[in-house]
Amino acid sequence: MNKWSKFLVILLFPIASLWGQEKEKEDLGVQEVLVVKSYTPSLSDAFKINSLPKLPDSLVSKQHELIYSLEEVPVVSTFQPNKASPLKLQQRKPTPPQNSLFSGAVGNKNQLYLNISSVVELDRTQRFGLHFYHDGFGSDLPNTLLKSNQQYSRFGLNHNFRSNDYNANTQLQFKNDRTNYFGLYDQAWDPLLLSSIDPEIKRNRIKMRTHWNWYDFILRSLTFQANLTSDNFNTSEQQLAVLSDFEIELERGKLKAEVHLEGFNTQFENSYFENSREEYSQGQGVLSLFWVYNRSDLKFKIGAGASYVFSNESLSSPLLYYPKIELLYKKAEGVISPYLTANGGVSFNTYVSLSEKNPYLAPTTSLNPTFKKYNASLGVRSQLASVLNFDLGLVYDQIENFNFFQRLPFDSQNNFLPYKLSNAYEARYVDTDLYGLKAKVRIDLIKSNFIEFETRYHFYDPEASQTLWNIPQLEFNWDSQFRWKNQLVFSFNGVVWGNREFAERPIFINQNPLASQILPNNLPIFLRSTAHVTYKIAPQFDLFLKARFTSRGSHGRWAYYPEPPLLLLGGVTYKFDFQY
């Protein structure tokens, strides 16, 4: 319908109404009118929404209240926090420098202990230090026919020079050891003979050593050392050694080389059996080349070494080769780390080194070098929660000139020499294969507290069924330290040597020392332990008590050489600053 039609209908609608009313009066009767209109639905009618949706206003609408109940837990419900208070900053007082130390003590058996050291800064690059040490006991042990006291002294000077390119450290040391050949057999002795013998042996040693290291140079370190040794039986020994280390970067690792030259000359006034002058002169040159890599889970050192030994015919060859290998597989978060090591080499047995192992060595003995062909260990290391650590491994080696000590026979023509009463030892050597087992356990506690145990069991297979005198198969040692509030420190350590055999020499009048009979005898387990307690009474003063315990009996580490069963020592340590 257009707009004109709509306009016409509107105009005529009132006229028609009036006309219809007039006709109604004429009684037209009832009529039915049907109006037909086409249906045209719209989309809005189909989807008619009665009311518009309203979004809730978070600022006006009321939030839902969450209602819950707490479960009673004793630990939580009884906890009452303290009111917090602001921390007060406390200024730490600077600790004054203490470059010097004095420690002195006395004890039973006429013990005297002194330990004095000082390091003085000369300037920003130089330091000078000195050190004096004395220990020992002056009284004789019970039930010994000869005097049996022991004294040890050491005095040293040190100079250190530092720069941006290198560091140099030079030492000069004098050492004096005094002990006695008092280990006589338990039998009747001539009092006149014993009264005419002075069993003391005094060994003097002068050591000069200088060590240089460079920080960024192919020559990383250079060491020179010279030793002069003498005793009161006219023994003299001179040693010279030069050791240099080279290092360059190679394939994300390091290629290292060691060049070692050393030699010694030893003169004994009288050999034991021939009573003639005895002299040993030996030397060796060593070259070791290996590659070190530590940038992966597998860390290793792989290489080899070679030694050429001069003036000695006791080894299988003057030119000897041996491995230099260290393999360790360790993951970042791994617990168990397997390893393999093999570090062979040649070492000299000098009068100084042998007397440090056995102080009752006679001032005349054979000196042969020892060659360890493999010196190999295969095992695992483990670290559990940074507290428990253990090391378990197997040991294997082939050794030429393995060193052990055999008791010397009695010499009736002793000329009143104290070491010819069958109370001194000589060095002996034999080729042997070595098999062994080692185990080590360490427990790290808080604040530098730890406990450590280590044991070794060795089985030897020597040539010609030679008995290895005074060599225990089982060795055990331990070390521990406990600290309380940085005021009290207690340490406890010790070592145990297992059962071992020694060569006992029966004494007969006018016997020939070369034809002396050897009777094997057993030495029991021997234990030596030390306990040390330190108590700090002031920042610079410490009180300490030291006790040493050993197994009782007529034997110590060496046959018929007992050690004092108990030594007690008490003293004070004072730290101070020395200004020159």
pLDDT score of 53 more than 70: no
Q: Give per-residue pLDDT as tens, 257-313.
A: 999 999 999 999 999 998 899 999 999 999 999 999 988 899 999 999 999 999 888
Q: Between 292 and 24, whose confidence is greater? A: 292
* Residue 4 parent element (H or E): helix 3-25
Interval 409-424 mean pLDDT: 91
Q: What's the predicted TM-score (pTM) here?
A: 0.81
Boundaries of every domain in the chain: 113-576
pLDDT score of 24 more than 70: no
Interval 36-62 mean pLDDT: 48
Report the alpha-carbon distance of residue 461 to residue 427 in Å, rounded.
Answer: 19
Q: Between 391 and 44, whose confidence is greater? A: 391
427 pairs with which residues across the strands? 405
Report the alpha-carbon distance of residue 209 to residue 163 in Å, rounded.
Answer: 19
CA-nearest of 104, 221, 202 to 571 is: 104
Span of 176-180, 395-399, 486-490 with lowest mean pLDDT: 486-490
Q: Between 543 and 83, whose confidence is greater? A: 543
List Cβ neighbours of 550 (8 Å cut-off, separation of 6 or more). 526, 527, 528, 529, 556, 563, 564, 565, 566
pLDDT bracket for residue 155 (50, 70, 90):
very high
Report the alpha-carbon distance of residue 366 to residue 279 in Å, rounded.
Answer: 9
* Residue 477 parent element (H or E): strand 474-484
Interval 3-30 mean pLDDT: 46
List Cβ neighbours of 177 (8 Å cut-off, separation of 6 or more). 151, 152, 153, 202, 203, 355, 359
| Structure confidence at residue 47 (pLDDT) | 44
pLDDT score of 551 more than 80: yes
pLDDT score of 78 more than 60: no
pLDDT score of 129 more than 70: yes
What are the start-end ranges of the E strands in 138-196?
150-162, 166-180
What kind of fold does domain 113-576 have according to CATH? Maltoporin; Chain A (2.40.170)
pLDDT score of 328 more than 90: yes
Q: Give per-residue pLDDT as tens, 432-457.
A: 999 999 999 999 988 789 999 999 99
Q: What is the mean pLDDT of the chain?
A: 86
Q: Give per-residue pLDDT as tens, 91-116.
A: 555 555 688 999 999 999 999 999 99
Interval 519-530 mean pLDDT: 95
In the DSSP assignment, the letter for residue 140 is P
pLDDT score of 369 more than 50: yes
| Structure confidence at residue 579 (pLDDT) | 77
pLDDT bracket for residue 153 (50, 70, 90):
very high
pLDDT bracket for residue 377 (50, 70, 90):
very high
User: Are residues 339 and 329 in contact, defined by beta-carbon separation less than 8 angstroms?
Assistant: yes
Interval 449-478 mean pLDDT: 94
Tokens of 146: 């000869």
| Structure confidence at residue 9 (pLDDT) | 44
Q: Give per-residue pLDDT as tens, 203-254.
A: 999 999 999 999 989 999 999 999 999 999 999 999 999 999 999 998 889 9
pLDDT bracket for residue 427 (50, 70, 90):
very high
pLDDT bracket for residue 500 (50, 70, 90):
very high
pLDDT score of 563 more than 50: yes
CA-nearest of 237, 252, 330, 232 to 293 is: 252
Please give, one letter per residue, the 3-state secondary structure of 341-402: EEECEEECCCHHHHHHHCCCECCCCCCCCEEECCCEEEEEEEEECCCEEEEEEEEEEEEEEE
| Structure confidence at residue 266 (pLDDT) | 97
pLDDT score of 558 more than 50: yes
Span of 38-42, 155-159, 424-428, 487-491 with lowest mean pLDDT: 38-42
> Is the CA virtual torsion 215, 221, 222, 223 positive or negative?
positive
pLDDT score of 344 more than 60: yes
256 pairs with which residues across the strands? 247, 290
pLDDT score of 58 more than 90: no
CA-nearest of 382, 521, 509 to 443 is: 382
| Structure confidence at residue 97 (pLDDT) | 66
